[in-house]
Structure 1
Amino acid sequence: MWIRAIDMIESDIRGREQISFPARCVKALLETSQGETEYLLGSLSSLIGIVNNKGELEFRLYHKSFLDFLDAPDRGADLHVDYGACNQFVSARCLETLKSKAPQVALPSNDAKKEFDSFFAQTLPYLIYHNFCRSRFDSGDVYWWITNHPSHSRDTAILIMFSGIHKNCGRFRCLSACRVWRKTILGFCKDNGWRVPSPIDRLLEDFRATTYVYYPINVTPTTHPKSPLRPPQPTIRPPVRLGVE
């Protein structure tokens, strides 16, 4: 399960230029007891490495075909890892972390905690699986996520989360998780000068008459309607002309 979960997390955040993939943060997210990583993966050294040549924690899968083996029920037999089960496992770890506002195993320092909080806040929008969307949240969970997200990429993360948390909802009927996340996000956005969706915008979204792409204006494809949720645009000041003596 762990090998599949590590690959799932890495695959879902791979290519995100502003997100690093420190193994120590992934370890902190997945562990439920001290030393669990070494206990579960240490005996699989021929398949996955957990320490690099500098003695630092680093996950390296030696044989990519092993993932194909795990994915195939007819080949993996008892070792087969169902995607849904892995999805549920990662969702449960994300939910536990968000509710506790910390990983289950205590981190060694405040700096390590800050690094983990930043990593978790950045990766969470890309780990919104089915089970996560059906969990229960309160506004404090959402505000913790927003305030711990690095400011340089917070706007994009808010837009992605606003869209992603809604993807498992039915037409005109949001799940409880979606209602909490969207209401809290919209409250934060209103307080910070965003353009927020009107009731008509929301109606059109649920009616599927309009496909909105919730990304910042400067990267929204021109083939899609402009997103009704938009961060404030920076004020461009005209150049100051200096008088000539």
Structure 2
Amino acid sequence: MSARDTILQRLFDGRTEALGETQAQVPASQFHVLAQVKMSLPARLQAFQQAMAKVEGEVIVLTRAQWPQKMAAWLADHTQAQRILVPPAHHVLGQALAPLWQGQWGHTWQVRTYDAPIETWQAELFNEVDLAITSTRAGIAQTGSLVLWPTPEEPRLMSLVPPIHVAILDSQRLYNTFYEVLQVEAWAQQGMPTNALLISGPSKTADIEQTLAYGVHGPKRLIVFVLVDEEMAEVCDAP
């Protein structure tokens, strides 16, 4: 037996002796408190907006029928971003955003997609993209968080590198708690991607003297457009 094996065996024997014949029992998890959190859609939206605002996130509610054009108009009025990264044309979000590069909405952006290995255009991504638009898997009202599942069409660098990240969230996928996301989305049964992302606000760090600072690395702004049905528009103050 090697010296390493001898040491590990002694550690194992000592643990076994300390436990005795009775093995430690892991208590059953209790999630009933989280399961009791049930809010209406307007209440979830309000909670989501308030939680996002606390971490410098911006939330805008738009109707599902007209959101692409109104989003484009808002971006033209509120940002200086001209170079935009979007999902490819065959992607559902890419199809909705096609008028961005076709000039149909009275404003022309320089639009490109993540259509090459990062090694071939890393410098462009880090230096020549002002804003990226991504879809989202879900939203969490209680914590003001977004869930993103990166794919080949929407790699994780889309939401982690450009100075401005615009996320599109369908209100039907805005859940009360993270626990509800896990349950309804059935993550345990359906599996997860290699890099699932939970995003709460723009980039931030407290590395320097434990003082929280925003925009130190990655996106300096996070803008979330939440899409609602027409009947919910007035209740949720959607334009």
**TM-score bin, normalised by smaller chain:** under 0.3
- Which of the pair has more CA radius of gyration? 2
Task: Flag the structure with higher helix content.
Answer: 1
Structure number with greater CO (CA < 8 Å, separation at least 6) is 2
